[in-house]
């Protein structure tokens, strides 16, 4: 048991999949450092906490003594082994355990730390945060880690379904979504029968009740979308890109940076599909053939077994290409040698590409990635989506050619450079994200 000198105790509920918990922890550490007299209890699954906190510790090892992690049940029965057939299975099992698993551990954390919570900060997915915070008369502050236009889409799900039902193709009837097409909408919005889409729907319904919604973005990124979010929510706080505050130290065990140092400026194609996605074999083959055709050097962060899944001759062309199981992506995209990023358009990847000033070739897979890809192509014009929605040799080679070569590629690079300046400016001491972060600290700990 410990006492908070101020009686302030913030509970944080993380979503223990993909990069969500780590992104939230990054933000929470900053808040905890800014408010050392406030206690923070970070609740996530055991597996997620083990990945986020080094060495199996449950406190922050001295850097943030006021931050303690607690494990919540992941919903899986004793001895459960994921079938692997359905990647969302562990998520669905987890969602069956909420909110009870959070509720019980929260009470335990309150007892252990001798202080009831004074604020609830959650992954935005957790719609139940609205009720829980209301019952306890504390602010609810949800954190959205994905692209901003999807937030509007989730709040406007009923209207989108109506337009879909009347065979509309464009979403220009919905303020903030004029750049989007019906095909860009996360499929969960149109099919809400399973637990994950149901969660997103409920989230969209309750977000306007939140004290403030926090976003991993920056104010100047898209005035139309931003304006709409400001009008829909009680308070909308862009405090991103999270990854810049502070940037992670370079960890390059596969030697990506020395390899890039040997390449010509803006010549290398970097290929990566985030933390989970593995394109199907025929699309892998299409990428391999397109890279051969482009004859550009490439760096590929490959999920899966590269030796088994990529042709041997391709792997042996070491002077022209490098395949690694993990790359220090922020630093890779910031390297002068990288000329294009082949990406699934996960939000962190899009932001990191902007920060590096690198144009993208987008191949969205699920969730809000299609909306991000549309914005990359049509709003910011810093990349292209692969024609036809999936990698074919021809479509991929065309996209690479457009992004890497000629006037079009050059203009994309210039526009990406302008966005990079905006992102860097936002996190400067006088920048908008810094100002919003201070407002967030006030709300959470005030």
Which residues does the annotation mark as catalytic?
Answer: 20, 123
- Per CB under 6 A, residues contacting ligand U2F are 18-20, 145-147, 272, 274-276, 301, 326-327, 329-330, 346-349, 352, 367-369
Q: Which is nearer to ligand U2F, 263 or 369 (CB)?
A: 369
Helix axes 281-294, 393-404, angle to 10 degrees: 40
358, 416 Cβ separation under 8 angstroms: yes
d(CA 38, CA 121): 13
Distance between CA atoms of 307 and 7, rounded to whole angstroms? 55
The partner residues of 70 in beta bridges, in order of sequence, read 43
Output the smallest distance, CB 394 to ligand U2F, in A: 26
Question: Whole-number minimum distance, CB 271 to ligand U2F, in Å?
Answer: 10
The residue behind tokens 């910031």 is 334
Using the minimum distance from each CB to ligand U2F, give the nearer residue, 203 or 330.
330
**Cα(122)–Cα(212) distance, integer angstroms:** 11
Provide the minimum distance between the beta carbon of 153 and ligand U2F in the complex, in angstroms, as a whole number: 13
Q: How far apart, in Å, are the Cα atoms of 21 and each of 25, 34, 123?
A: 6, 20, 8
Q: How far is CA 74 from CA 53, 60, 218, 223, 382, in A?
A: 17, 22, 33, 39, 39
Residue 292 main-chain phi, psi, to 5 deg: -65, -45
Please state, in angstroms and rounded to a whole number, the distance separating the CA atoms of residues 331 and 222. Answer: 25
* Cα torsion 53, 57, 58, 64: sign: negative
User: Given the complex with ligand U2F, which of 226 and 368 has the nearer CB atom?
Assistant: 368
In the bound complex, what is the minimum distance in angstroms from residue 199's beta carbon to ligand U2F?
A: 14
Residue closer to ligand U2F by CB (options 40, 125) is 125
Q: Which is nearer to ligand U2F, 15 or 102 (CB)?
A: 15
Distances (CA, A) of 124 to 12, 97, 178, 414: 11, 17, 24, 34
In the complex with ligand U2F, the residue whose CB is nearer, 142 or 346, is 346
From the CA atom positions of the chain, what is the Rg in Å? 22
Q: How far is the CB of 168 from ligand U2F (least distance, A)?
A: 24
Q: Which residue has the tokens 């799900």?
A: 157
Number of residues written out for the chain: 446
Output the smallest distance, CB 123 to ligand U2F, in A: 9
Inter-residue contact 12 to 29 (CB < 8 Å): no
Q: Closest CB to ligand U2F among 68 and 419?
A: 419
Q: Which residue has the tokens 């009680």?
A: 234
DSSP 248-266: PPP--TT-HHHHHHTSPTT
Three-state secondary structure call for residue 226: helix
Q: Is 19 helix (H, G, I), strand (E, B) or coil?
A: coil
Q: Which is nearer to ligand U2F, 59 or 326 (CB)?
A: 326
Please report where in the chains the tokens 């022209």 appear, as a residue: 320
φ/ψ (deg, to 5) at 259: -65, -45
């Amino acid at each position: 048991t410990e006492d908070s000198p101020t009686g302030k105790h913030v509970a944080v509920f993380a979503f223990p999949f993909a990069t969500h918990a780590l992104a939230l922890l990054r933000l929470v550490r900053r808040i905890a450092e800014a408010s050392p007299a406030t206690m923070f209890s970070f609740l996530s699954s055991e597996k997620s906490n083990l990945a986020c906190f080094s060495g199996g510790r449950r406190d922050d090892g001295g850097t943030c003594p006021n931050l303690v992690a607690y494990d919540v049940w992941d919903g899986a029965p004793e001895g459960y082994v994921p079938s692997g057939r359905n990647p969302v299975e562990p998520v669905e099992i987890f969602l069956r355990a909420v909110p009870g698993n959070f509720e019980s551990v929260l009470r335990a954390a309150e007892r252990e730390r001798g202080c009831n919570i004074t604020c609830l900060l959650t992954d935005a997915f957790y719609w139940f945060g609205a009720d829980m915070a209301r019952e306890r008369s504390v602010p609810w502050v949800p954190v959205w880690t994905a692209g901003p236009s999807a937030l509007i889409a989730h709040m406007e799900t009923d209207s989108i379904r109506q337009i879909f039902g009347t065979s509309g193709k464009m979403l220009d009837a919905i303020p903030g979504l004029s750049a989007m097409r019906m095909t860009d909408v996360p499929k969960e919005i149109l099919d809400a029968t399973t637990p994950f889409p149901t969660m997103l729907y409920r989230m969209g319904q309750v977000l306007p009740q939140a004290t403030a919604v926090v976003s991993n973005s920056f104010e100047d990124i898209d005035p139309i979308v931003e304006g709409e979010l400001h009008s829909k929510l009680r308070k909308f706080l862009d405090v991103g890109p999270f990854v810049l505050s502070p940037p992670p130290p370079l960890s390059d065990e596969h030697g990506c940076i020395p390899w890039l140092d040997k390449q010509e400026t803006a010549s290398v194609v970097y290929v990566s599909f985030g933390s989970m996605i593995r394109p199907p074999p025929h699309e892998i083959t299409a990428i391999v053939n397109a890279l051969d055709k482009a004859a550009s050097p490439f760096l590929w962060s490959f999920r899966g077994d590269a030796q088994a899944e990529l042709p041997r001759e391709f792997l042996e062309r070491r002077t022209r290409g490098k395949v690694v199981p993990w790359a220090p992506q922020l630093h890779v995209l910031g390297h002068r040698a990288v000329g294009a990023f082949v990406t699934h358009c996960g939000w962190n990847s899009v932001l990191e590409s902007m920060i590096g000033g690198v144009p993208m070739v987008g191949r969205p897979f699920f969730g809000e990635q299609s909306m991000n890809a549309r914005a990359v192509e049509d709003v910011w014009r810093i990349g292209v989506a692969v024609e036809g929605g999936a990698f074919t040799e021809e479509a991929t080679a065309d996209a690479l050619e457009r992004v890497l070569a000629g006037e079009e590629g050059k203009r994309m690079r210039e526009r990406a450079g302008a966005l990079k300046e905006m992102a860097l400016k936002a996190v400067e001491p006088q920048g908008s994200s810094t100002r919003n972060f201070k407002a967030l600290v006030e709300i959470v700990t005030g």
